[in-house]
Amino acid sequence: MFKTRSKVAFLAAVFATAYAIYSLVYWGGVVGETQSTDAAEALGSGLATLLVVPHIIVTVLGALFGVIAFFTRSAGLILTSAILYSVAAALFFVYAIFLVPSIVLGFVGYSKQKKLKRASS
């Protein structure tokens, strides 16, 4: 299975997918439980949701691109997913540490996939 596919890109996609699932479960539960009668608390949870939603969307898109890139053996899609991981980290810097492995492995996986594709042709 890994003969013409980058193992590093696979690891990046696995880490990003795991973090995306964690984010959806964690933030989905937090956002769903914010039925408060206090106006200040409702405003605070609304602002938190406003800050987190773009991060989650870009992370899920990056993970989706990473999985698709691995199965299609496309170096360009691997690069796209690594860039999306970087954008997601920049959108919500507090949780950027969880995306650093995916970012690093994504860029390394891009170069490895490019070399594998060049060697196979």
2 vs 65 pLDDT, higher one: 65
Q: Is the whole-model pTM more than 0.75?
A: yes
Burial class (CB in 10 A: 0-12, 13-18, 19+), 118: exposed
Q: In this predicted structure, what is the pLDDT of residue 113?
A: 92
Confidence grade of residue 119 (pLDDT, cut at 50, 70, 90)? confident
Q: Which strand (E) or helix (H) includes residue 112?
A: helix 100-120
Where do the structural domains in the chain lie, given as residue ranges?
7-120
pLDDT above 70 covers what percent of the chain?
Answer: 93
Mean pLDDT, residues 26-55 = 75
31 vs 54 pLDDT, higher one: 54
CB count within 10 Å of CB 102 equals 31
